[in-house]
Amino acid sequence: MYPTKVVLANGASINIRYHEPRKIIKLPLDMTTLSEDERKARLEKRKPKRKIKITEIVEDNFNAKKYLKYIKK
């Protein structure tokens, strides 16, 4: 038996002896005890985050002929 910490849904923690070597066991939250606003907030956190695509328009005004005089032949 291994010493393990169990974290309850309300944030309280207790120490127990568990048959597998684990440090922390977190118990799930009972969704039926939450208010409607808290339930919606929890469900929103579970959804995957949307990736924001940033597109930048870069003006390319590079002229290679301008730098030909610096190249040794």
49-58 pLDDT tens trace: 888 888 888 8
Q: Is the pLDDT of residue 28 over 90?
A: no
Distance CA 21, CA 59 (A): 58
Contact 29, 9 (CB under 8 A): yes
Q: Please give the pLDDT value at position 73.
A: 66
| 28-56 average pLDDT score | 88
What residues does each domain of the chain span? 2-53
